[in-house]
Amino acid sequence: MRIPCPICGARSYEEYTYQGDATVVRPNPETTDPAPWHAYVYLRDDPKGPHRELWHHTAGCRAWIVVERDTVTHAVHSSTLARSEGGRQA
């Protein structure tokens, strides 16, 4: 599988580290209800088809990118810098 890095161009997936679901939204840090935090930390969907994922270009430019990929065929449809989408960054 080749992932198109917005900075470096298409590279092998081996240069990247998968970091998880890019659609998960962190709860408000001031909430005292444990339910949203439990859902954020432990509960994940296992989608079939197009899905947005967060990847880190570990062996390249070290950018965080959001990749839209089909989980059935592994076809990569798009990628953008995570910061340009307001995505999470490390």
Residue 90 is assigned to a structural domain of this protein: no
Alpha-carbon distance 16 to 10, whole Å?
11
Compute the distance between CA of residue 18 and CA of residue 33 in angstroms, rounded to an integer.
Answer: 29
User: Which CATH number is 46's domain given?
Assistant: 3.30.2270.10
Q: What's the confidence (pLDDT) of residue 84?
A: 77
As for how many domains the chain has, the answer is 1
The answer to whether residues 57 and 8 touch, using CB atoms and an 8 Å cutoff, is yes
Tens digits of residue pLDDT in 69-87: 999 999 999 999 998 765 4
Buried residues in 49-86 as b, exposed as e (16+ CB within 10 A): eebbbbbbbeebeebbbbbebeeeeeebeebbebeeee
Q: What is the pTM of this model?
A: 0.81
Looking at residue 34, its pLDDT comes to: 96
Structural domain span for residue 66: 2-26+33-85
* Mean pLDDT score of the chain: 92
Amino acid at 36: P
